[in-house]
Every structure is written in structure tokens, then in C-alpha cells.
Amino acid sequence: MLLKKPKMRKRTATPRLRAGIYTAYDVMKEVLRLGREEKRRIDMGWWVDMYRGKVPPDGARHEHAPACGTVACLGGWGNIITGNYPRYEYGHRLLDALFGEMDYDVRVREELDALFGSGNLPATEALKQLAVILKDHKPELQEHRVRVFGAKSGRLPLYLGKEAA
């Protein structure tokens, strides 16, 4: 009797932003879209659990990982799509890229930082909280600009400052 070969799920690329200039709102809106599209991508318990099917030293293998093989928290996904990972896993590096290293007085930065560090918050609740932050702080998020250099450049995202009103 012949056994059927198990059907392999088609692998897809881990999503990344194209090179260009984005607002902090654009970046976090894309993180929200990716999470809503495939909730298995989100695990708030780890910065990055799996990256392209590989498990970092402090990650955990997910049996039901998405086709792209990448599972991370919201801050980890922000790092991944801007090209800030695997060099930096932590959410504060993303916040530095989105708001500048010295701009700690921005309330939305504090709210995102609290969300990124929320531990084992379920993906659906984390996505709801991110949607509220985006809605409540859209004008402020749209003021901060970041240059993303693209997946193959090897360059980190660069904070460009606040857009002149």
C-alpha cells in the first residue's frame, strides 16, 4: 500500500515595506493590516518567535505558523517590515525609528511602548488596541516620517523628523 506524501503548504515571503518614505501611521497601519489578515502572525509573548521558518535562540516554534513562517509581536512586526530585524528585536528600536531617539514626550510613543510590552495579550485584543491607538493619534502619527531602505539594502530605517505643518 502506497502512503500519500503529506501536502506541503506553499511558503510565502515574509512581508516587508518597499524602499521609500513612510509616516509612523503608514508603518503601524501596515502592521495592523498584516495582523488582521493572518492572526497566526501575532504572538505578543515574544518579540520575534519565528523568522522565515527559523527559530531565534529565545523564540518558540509554532506548529500552526503562517505560510511566511514569521511570528512576532506588533513591535517585532514593525521592525521586520521596516528592515530593522534581525539586527534589533525590541520595540524601542522601532519607536526610535518612528519618532526619533530623543522624542520621549510623545504620548502615542508611550502608548505603543506599553502595547509592545503587554506580554501575553491575545492577538485579537492587541490588534484592537493598536486600531484604537491609530484612530486616536492619527494626526500625530502622520507627522513623523521614516525612510525605509528596502529588504536587500542592509540599512536600518532612518528617522527623518516631524513634517512641517
How many angstroms separate the CA atoms of 54 and 68, rounded?
Answer: 11
Q: What is the pLDDT of residue 5?
A: 43
Nearest C-alpha neighbor of 111 from the set 95, 90, 93: 95
Question: Of 34-38, 54-58, 92-96, 130-134, which has the strongest mean pLDDT?
Answer: 130-134
Q: Among residues of the chain, what percentage have pLDDT more than 70? A: 69
The pLDDT tens digits for 56-108 are 665 566 666 777 777 788 888 888 888 776 655 566 677 888 887 765 557 88
Tens-digit pLDDT profile for residues 104-124 = 557 888 899 889 888 889 999
Whole-model pTM: value is: 0.82
Give the Cα separation of 56 and 75 in Å (integer): 16
Instruction: Kindly state the cell numbers that stand for 54.
Output: 527559523
d(CA 33, CA 142): 17
Contact 75, 90 (CB under 8 A): yes
Residues forming beta bridges with residue 23, ordered by sequence position: 145
Three-state SS at 162:
strand
CA 98 – CA 79 distance, rounded (Å): 10
Q: Would the pLDDT of 147 be above 80?
A: yes
Q: Report the distance separating Cα 141 and Cα 125, nearest Å.
A: 21
